[in-house]
Amino acid sequence: MPVPPDFTPLQASLPYNCRFAVHPVLSMSSRALYFRVLSYFRPYAGPAIVALVCMAAAGSVDALIVRMLKDLVDGFADLQKGTQALWLMPAIFFGLAIVRMVANFGSDYLGAWLTSRVLQRLRDETFGRLIRMPVRFFDQSSTGVLLSRVTFDVSQMLEAGLNVLTVIVKDGALAIGLLITMFWTDWKLSLFCLAIMPGVATSIRIVSKRLRRLARETQDTMGEMNRILDESLSGPRIVKIFGGQDYEVRRFGQANNRVRQLMVKRTASSSMNSGISLFLVAIAIAAIVYFAGLRAQAGDLTAGAFISFMGSMILLQQPVKSLTRVNEQLHRGLAAAETVFEMMDQQPEDDFGTYEVARSQGAIRFESVRFSYQRGEKIALDGVDLQIRSGETVALVGPSGGGKTTLVNLLPRFYEPQEGRILLDGVPLNDYSLASLRKQIALVSQDVLLFNDTVAANIAYGSGPIDMARVRAAAEAAYALDFVEKMEGGFEAMLGENGVRLSGGQRQRLAIARALYKDAPILILDEATSALDTESERQVQAALERLMQGRTTLVIAHRLSTIENADRIVVLQQGKIAEMGTHGELVSTGGLYARMHAVQFAEG
C-alpha cells in the first residue's frame, strides 16, 4: 500500500529511528479526514449511488405524503359532492407506500452490504499495514492498543462514512421536502421558522469541538482497556502465582470506569445539543400556531393548508434531531479515523533493496557496527568488527546487556545500525530485498511461538503449500515424530494457543522442525535450550546438532557447556568484543570467559 504523498518527503528527511513518530494525519482538517474515509467507498460507487438514491426517495416520499394531506382535507368537500373519484386519493397513497417500501429495503440492504464490504477492506488494509511495520514499532506499542485499532476503531470509522451519510441524505431529503411543503403552503410562516436556524447552527458549532475531543479520549481509553485485558489474560499463571487478581481487577475497573464516564459526557453533550435545537423548534411551533390562527381568521389559510403546514412542522423535529445528533457520530468516527490513519501512515520497513539470491553462502561480516535503540540512550553495540565464515558456528556469550541479541537482530534487519555496515556474501544487507534476505535465515529461540493451527501448518509456516513429505522428514530430524504421531490427529492435530498442549521440550523441537523445513543457510539459536530440563535439553541439543550441520550458525548461549564445541566463541561486554577464540583458547587465557566458565562449573 503506498504511503500518502504528504507524508513521504517529511519521513525521508528523518533518521530511521524516528521516522514512524511523525503523524501528519493529526493536522488534517475534518473535511480532509472525512473525504479520506469516503474514499474507501469509491470502488463501490455504483451500489453507493443507488443506496443514496433510495435514501433520498424514502425521505422525499414521507414529505410528499404530508403534502397530500392538504389536498385530502381541502378536497373532502368534493368527495362529498361526488365531483372527485373516490379511488384517486387511496390509489395515490398506495403507490407512495409501495415506493417507500422499495426505497427503504434498497437503502437498508445496500447500506448493510456497503458497510460489510468497507469494514472488511479497512480491516484487511489496516492489518496488512500493521504486519509490515518495523520491529521497533512493536517495541514501543501495546498489543492491546493495536488490537483496538484493528477491531474497535475501524468499526467506529464507518460512523464517519456511510452511517453519517445515510442520516444526512435520508433525513436531509425529508427535511428539505418538508420545508418545500411549508413554503409551498405559506411562505411567510416558513420564513418565520427559518429564524431559529442560526440558533441551531450555533449550538452545533459549540458542541462539535467537545464531542471530537471526548471521542478521541474514548478511543485512547478503549485501547488502554484492551491493553490491560491482553496483559492479564496472556499471563494467567503469573497473575495467579503472585496474587495479582485484585490488582488486575482494579486496573481494568479504573479503565472501564473512565470509558463509562466519557460515554456519559459524550451522550450528555449530544443530548444538550439536540435538546436546545428541539426547544427552539418548539418555540417556533407555538408562535406559528398563533400566527397561523391569525392568517386563518383573515381567510389566507385553508384547513388543509394548516394541517399540512403543522404536520410538516411537527415531522420536521425528527430529521432536525437526527441531523443534530449526526454531529456526535461524525466526530466519534473522525476521532477513530485519526487513530487508524495515524497508524497506517507510519513508515513501514525500508525495503528498497533489489538484490535477490536463491541461496547464499552464509559468509557474514560486521564492519564497525554501532547501534543504540534510542537517541541518547546507552550504546548497545560500539564499533563491532566480526567476520564469520560460511558454515562456521560462532557462539555469542557475555554478561546481560552486552549486545548479543542486538547483534543477531541486526542480521535479518529487524533494526538498522546507525554506523557501519553488515555484509552477507560481500553484499551489504540494505542491497538485499527483505524477502530474499530473510529467506536465508532461520531462527530458533527460547520463546517459541506456535500458532493455533495444525502441527503440519506450524512446521511449514510461511513456506507456501504444505509438502507433507518434507514436514514428516523435518519432524523426524528434530526428534519430534514420535510424540507427534502419538497425538490424536497426528500432523493434523490442532496445537491450541501457542502450543498449550505441548511440553517445553516438545514445543522447542517443533520450532527446530520449522527451521529444518525452511532449510535456510544461516541459523540463529537464541538461548534455545536455556529453559529446558536435562532430559529435554538432551533431546533438543541432539536435534540442534543435526540442524546446524552445513549451516552458518550464530548461537546465543547462557549455558557455556552447550557451546564448547563451537568453531569460535565471541565474548561481548558493554557492546564491544572483549574476547574471541575457541573454548580451549579462552579458558587458557584466564579472561572474562574463563571466569564465567569457572563460575558455572562450580555451580554445576
Q: What is the pLDDT of residues 383-398, one digit of tens each?
A: 899 999 999 999 999 8
Q: Domain residue spans in the chain?
A: 22-344, 364-603
Is 195 a residue whose pLDDT tops 80? no
Higher-pLDDT residue of 157, 376: 157
Q: Identify the residue whose cell numbers are 420536521.
A: 316
Exposed/middle/buried for 50, CB within 10 Å: 0-12, 13-18, 19+? middle
| CB-based contacts of 246, cutoff 8 Å, min separation 6 | none
Residue of 548, 515, 499 whose CA lies nearest to 438: 515
Give pLDDT tens digits for 213-244.
Answer: 777 777 677 777 777 776 666 655 556 555 66
Strand duo 393-397 + 552-556: pairing: parallel
The per-residue pLDDT for 20 is 37
How would you label 533-572 residue by residue, b for 16+ Cβ within 10 Å and e otherwise? eeebbebbeebbeebbeebbbbbbbbebebbeebebbbbb
CATH of domain 22-344: 1.20.1560.10
22-344 and 364-603 share one CATH topology? no
Average pLDDT estimate for 486-510: 83
Residue 79: pLDDT band with limits 50, 70, 90: low
Rounded to an integer, what distance in angstroms lies between the CA atom of residue 69 and that of residue 249?
60
The per-residue pLDDT for 421 is 93
Pick the CATH number of 364-603 from 3.10.180.10, 3.50.50.60, 3.40.50.300, 3.40.50.720: 3.40.50.300
The per-residue pLDDT for 352 is 87
Is 22 a residue whose pLDDT tops 60? no
Rounded to an integer, what distance in angstroms lies between the CA atom of residue 10 and that of residue 13?
5
Cα torsion 244, 245, 251, 254: sign: negative
The per-residue pLDDT for 238 is 58
The per-residue pLDDT for 317 is 67
pTM of the model: 0.69
